[in-house]
Amino acid sequence: MPLHDYECDGCGSVFEDVLQKFHDAPLKKCSECGKNKLRRMLSGGIHVSIKNSSTIGGLADRNTKANKSELQEMQHKKNEGKPSVDKPWHHSNATATNKEINTMTSKQKSNYIMGGGK
């Protein structure tokens, strides 16, 4: 429920943080002087209450984590049976070690690479 501030134009009394529901009509009668000269003032802050004492940031974090796990699961299902994107094509077919590649001539290296690591 929001909090409102009121001021009486009759006596100058100020009432801060009056708890009212959104659909409640504004107060009119001043409790100090009894005149119907009470007006709602604009306040600088917005007061919002969330059930279960959760914060907006906590709710956002929870939603983000849930969405990330769902996205990862969908991505995993989408990539099933496909070659891994983490390794280039030549790593899946290559059989030579780094030591063997380093002893090859430039032409041998070229043939090895162009032949798909065979």
CA torsion sign for 108, 113, 115, 118 is: positive
pTM, two decimal places: 0.37
- Helix H or strand E segment including 58: helix 56-79
80 has a pLDDT exceeding 90: no
For 1, residues 6+ apart whose C-beta sits below 8 A from its C-beta are: 19, 20, 21, 22, 49
Confidence of residue 36 (pLDDT cuts 50, 70, 90): very high
pLDDT reported for residue 24:
86
For 29, residues 6+ apart whose C-beta sits below 8 A from its C-beta are: 35, 36, 38
Q: Whole-angstrom Cα distance, residue 35 to residue 43? A: 23
